[in-house]
Amino acid sequence: MFYRFFSTILATFAGVALAGAAASAHPHVWVTMKSELVYAPDGSVTGVRHAWTFDDMFSVFATQGIEAKKKGEFTREELAPLAEVNVTSLKEYDFFTQATANGKKIEFNEPPAGYYLDFNPKDTVLTLHFTLPLKTPVKAKDLTVEIYDREFFVDFSFAEKDPAKLVGAPAQCKLTVGKPQEMNAAMSQQLSQLGPDQKNTALTIGAEYANKLSVKCP
């Protein structure tokens, strides 16, 4: 299945749009996240590890056409081409991840080798695992990482259990997980007017409903 990440999303939606008019509203894909903020021994932040679980409808459509040795199950090796396409395509969207350290924006490098997709046959969902290393590790008293799609085509939300953690951080550092406010009826109506293949480059609603990780260190 060698096609771009968002082409996959559009194809998925096209396949389910006939299910009813309610399917026409943004968002079209739901992602449940778990994230880790990784620190070096000297206390500097080095990167973010993401595990993104896609909704079952998207996952089933995304895996159609992939040959598997065991029906209804996929190995990491069998999913490797799809994982590569996903990660490569996400670059265009800055991996939906923005960060600031001590009030200044910080930049990420592309994920190194080692990213992969898992498939859970019980829940029929795909989970993409990848790491975003910082271009320059930084010691930060105040660190903020936001994950969102500016056009709200993809709806990101943190997992209810163990949504995020610090890995190797100084003991005094404290992590806070911030979940977005509930969307009002007027904005829901605006989003409902956007079709599955329609993009509104002027729409930046996703930033207002960003999922946020905040770390305070002494």
Q: Which residue has the tokens 């799609």?
A: 149
pLDDT of the residue at 11: 46
Q: How far apart are CA 71 and CA 89, in angstroms?
A: 28
Q: What is the pTM of this model?
A: 0.82
CA separation, residue 49 to residues 7, 74, 95 (Å): 25, 23, 12
Q: Express each pLDDT in 196-215 by its tens digit.
A: 444 544 455 556 778 999 99
DSSP string, 34-75: EEEEEE-TTS-EEEEEEEEEEPHHHHHHHTTT---SSTT---
Q: What tokens does 3 get?
A: 């096609």
pLDDT of the residue at 175: 98
pLDDT of the residue at 209: 74
Q: Provide long-range contacts, Cβ within 8 A and 24+ apart, for 159-162.
A: 159/32, 159/33, 159/34, 159/53, 162/34
Domain that holds residue 15: 5-216
Residue ranges for the chain with pLDDT beneath 50: 1-4, 10-25, 185, 196-198, 200-202
Q: Provide long-range contacts, Cβ within 8 A and 24+ apart, for 75-84.
A: 76/116, 76/117, 76/118, 79/116, 79/117, 79/118, 79/119, 79/126, 80/116, 80/117, 81/1, 81/2, 82/1, 82/117, 83/115, 83/116, 83/117, 83/128
What is the number of structural domains in the chain? 1
Cβ(101)–Cβ(95) below 8 Å: no
